[in-house]
Every structure is written in C-alpha cells, then in structure tokens.
C-alpha cells in the first residue's frame, strides 16, 4: 500500500477569523495522520484505524450519503472525504484505507483536518490527479462540515495542505477562497533566536460538534448583518458602537482586533523582527478570546498565566477553544522550567497534569511512500 500524511496545526495568531473572511497565521506540526490506501475492485470503501482496532467500517461507493447515520463518528471524516469526491463527480472506485493518527484527538490541534486531508491527498493521487490544492481543501472542509457535522471554517484544512517546514502560513481567507491567491510562506525560525514554541495540551477535550462554536459563528454573522457588510472582515473598530447588543458587539470586537493582530504579527515576521516582539500580541489575543469571545476555559487561562509567570514571552490558547491546547513562546533554556511551572500550577489548581511538547513548523500534506 502507498501512504500519505497530513499534519495537525497550531495557529500562531488569528483565531475565529477564518469564517469571518479574515486572516490567519498557522504552522503545521510535526505530528501527522498517516493514510495507507489501495484501490480495490469491489466498489466498497473499507476503513480501518490503528486507534480503533477491530472496528472495520464498510460502505458501498454508491451508498455513502445514505450510510452516514450508521457510521461511528470517527469514520465520518474519511468516508466524508470519499463521499465528497463522488458528489463532485470524480470517478472513485473501491478502496481500502488504513489510518494511523498521531495528532492528539480533542487537543485543539486539528486531528480532524489531519485525518480528512490525509485521505483527500490519497484520493487525489489515486483517482483525481487534476484536483488542485484549493479544491482539496474545500473537499476536506465539506467532508467535515456536511458529513461529519463539525461546522469548521477553512483554517485547519488550509494549514494541513499548504504549510511548509520552517514557515508560518499567512492566509487571507477571502482572497484565497475567491481566487486561489492571498497566501504567503513567512520564515518562522524560532531556533535562530534561541526560542521555542511550547504546546500545552490541557487534556480537556474540545469538540467542535458541540454548540459553542456554531453559536459564535452565528453571533458573528448577526454582527455583520447588523452592520450591513458581507463579513466581519469588512468592519473596523469605529463601526463597533453601532452594534446594539453587548455580547454580539464583543464577539465582533474580538474578530476586528484579532485580524489586526494577525496583520501586525505577519509584518513583524516578514521583516525578520525578533519573535519576542510578538509575545505581547499573543497575550492580547488570549485576553480577547477569553473576555470578548468567551471561548477560553479556566485550565487554558491557568496555562497562559503560569507560562507567562515562569518567563514565557507570550502565550495564548489556540484553536476553537472550550478546551484543547495553549502555546507559549519561550527562551530555549527556559522551556523545561516553563513546562514544569505550568504542570505545578495545574496540579495546585486541581487539574490533571497537562501534556507539554515543543513543536517546529513542519510540511503540509504529502505522499510519503
Ligand atoms: C477550529 C475550526 C477552525 C477555526 C478555529 C478557530 O479549529 O476548525 O476553522 O475557526 O477553530 O480559529
């Protein structure tokens, strides 16, 4: 069998901006989902996962839409990708998929996009070689939104597909979705500055299929509608007082200020500034997610505060929120001390000890063998 891989991601800055047509700045992680795939001639898709031993899932290529409801949740991601290729008219035949995911599940590191994108690149190479990356991203997102029922934006799939080692991906979502333009690989070499990026997985699972994420999206749409613009991307701070309700106004304020933070951070990195300079911007992003967007948790706040108290230059929750992970930007020689301090603070606060690990920007989805 041939194999393909796709990575998880952390977003350096730009949370809940993707579905508002805004800006994001992710890196891909060295952690990947591996998809081994082989065509078969029986018209069936069979999926196995090393994380779900003994649970082979089968469905006929022609009955994928109808099969959805009887499938276990995890299998809706790979089969959703197959179903989306079929729905778009690609000639997909029988297929065996063997999955192995190393991105922690529910950690806010996009294990689901790693999964859907690893399957998407495999299907492209096997059945639809003319499909371009942008369409592949759309296929993976549609699989997650429509088949798996997770109402994501396009950040995670774009990061999994487009990121490159040693770089952060600056993505202008509106330009990218409209015209396959508006993205840029910006060098992000923390080691050259004696820095490391520490991920702190709180161990508190984050689930996009829960309602909080969808509710935030609806509030953003309501804010844009109230201001008479297509998306919050089109709003600046001076427009915000025109939003009548305080909650919706605060949600919009997060998006407006977060877009500005992405642009500032991208510009600093582009100019080769010391990444320590982005630390305070990450902290401001966390405060905005906590206070205006209200998607942080006590554990995420504890991770951020403890990391900063132990000398991190910046720290913030990453991903959709309601659990998952935080990142901290630390001097290399302090990484262990920061990780230990966060662990201590967690235990004292009554949380289970978090998992901490250092990440570097890695490559996006690719064929491996
Ligand atoms: C989740 C979604 C993304 C994005 C982030 C928040 O990861 O899948 O599309 O909205 O939350 O930035």
Q: Is 322 in the pocket of ligand 1 (CB under 6 A)?
A: no
Tell how far the Cα of 119 is from the centroid of ligand 1, in angstroms: 20
Q: Is 8 in the pocket of ligand 1 (CB under 6 A)?
A: no
Q: Residue range 207-216: average pLDDT?
A: 80
Residue 211 has pLDDT above 90, yes or no: no
**Does an H or E element contain 49, and which?**
strand 44-49
Residue 207: the pLDDT is 64
Ligand 1 atom with the shortest distance to the CA of 15: 12
- Sheet-wide strand order for 355-359: 314-317, 325-331, 195-201, 355-359
pLDDT band of residue 210 (cuts 50, 70, 90) is low
Measure Cα distances from 107 to 119, 287, 303 in Å. 20, 20, 14
Residue 2 has pLDDT above 70, yes or no: yes
Q: Is 155 in the pocket of ligand 1 (CB under 6 A)?
A: yes
- Gap between the Cα atoms of 154 and 39, Å rounded: 28
pTM of the complete model = 0.96
Residue 216 has pLDDT above 90, yes or no: yes
Q: Is 19 in the pocket of ligand 1 (CB under 6 A)?
A: yes
Tell how far the Cα of 265 is from the centroid of ligand 1, in angstroms: 19
Residue 253: the pLDDT is 98
Residue 180: the pLDDT is 81
Q: What is the mean pLDDT of the chain?
A: 96
**What is the set of active-site residues?**
156
Residue 209 has pLDDT above 60, yes or no: no
Question: DSSP label at 260?
Answer: H
Question: DSSP label at 227?
Answer: H
**Candidates 15, 19, 159, 206: which one to mutate for ligand 1, based on the most atoms within 8 Å of Cβ?**
15
- Gap between the Cα atoms of 197 and 335, Å rounded: 9
Of the ranges 104-108, 134-138, 208-212, 289-293, which one carries the lowest mean pLDDT score? 208-212
Q: Is 201 in the pocket of ligand 1 (CB under 6 A)?
A: no
Judge contact between 37 and 2, C-beta under 8 A: yes
pLDDT digit string, tens, across residues 31-63: 999 999 999 999 999 999 999 999 999 999 999
Q: What angle do CA 362, 11, 8 make, to 5 degrees?
A: 50
Q: Residue range 182-206: average pLDDT?
A: 95
């Amino acid at each position: 069998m041939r194999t393909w891989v796709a990575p998880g991601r952390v977003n350096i800055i730009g949370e809940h901006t993707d579905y508002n047509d805004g800006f994001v700045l992710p890196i891909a992680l060295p952690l990947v989902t591996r998809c081994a795939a082989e065509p078969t001639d029986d018209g069936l898709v069979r999926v196995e996962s090393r994380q779900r031993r003994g649970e082979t899932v089968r469905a006929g290529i022609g009955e994928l839409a109808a099969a959805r409801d009887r499938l276990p949740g995890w299998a809706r991601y790979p089969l959703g990708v197959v179903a989306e290729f079929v729905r778009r008219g690609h000639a997909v035949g029988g297929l065996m998929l063997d999955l192995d995911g190393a991105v922690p599940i529910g950690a806010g590191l996009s294990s689901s996009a790693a999964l859907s994108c690893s399957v998407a690149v495999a299907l492209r190479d096997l059945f639809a070689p003319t499909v371009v990356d942008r369409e592949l991203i759309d296929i993976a997102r549609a699989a997650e939104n429509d088949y798996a029922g997770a109402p994501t934006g396009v950040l995670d799939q774009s990061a999994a597909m487009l990121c490159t080692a040693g770089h952060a991906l600056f993505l202008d979502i509106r330009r990218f979705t409209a015209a396959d333009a508006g993205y840029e690989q910006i060098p992000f070499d923390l080691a050259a500055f004696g820095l490391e990026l520490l991920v702190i997985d709180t161990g508190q699972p984050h689930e996009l299929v829960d309602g909080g994420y969808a509710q935030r999206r609806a509030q953003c749409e309501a804010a844009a509608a109230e201001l008479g613009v297509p998306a919050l991307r089109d709003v600046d701070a001076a427009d915000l007082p025109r939003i009548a309700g305080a909650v919706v106004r605060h949600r919009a304020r997060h998006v407006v200020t977060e877009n500005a933070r992405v642009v500032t951070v991208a510009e600093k990195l582009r100019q080769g500034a010391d990444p320590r300079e982005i630390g305070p911007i990450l902290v401001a992003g966390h405060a905005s997610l906590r206070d205006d967007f209200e998607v942080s948790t006590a554990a995420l706040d504890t991770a951020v505060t403890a990391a900063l108290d132990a000398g991190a230059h910046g720290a913030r929750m990453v991903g959709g929120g309601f659990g998952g992970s935080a990142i901290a930007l630390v001097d290399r020689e302090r990484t262990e001390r920061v990780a230990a301090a966060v662990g201590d603070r967690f235990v004292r606060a009554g949380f289970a000890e978090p998992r901490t690990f250092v990440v570097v920007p890695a490559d996006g989805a690719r064929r491996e063998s």
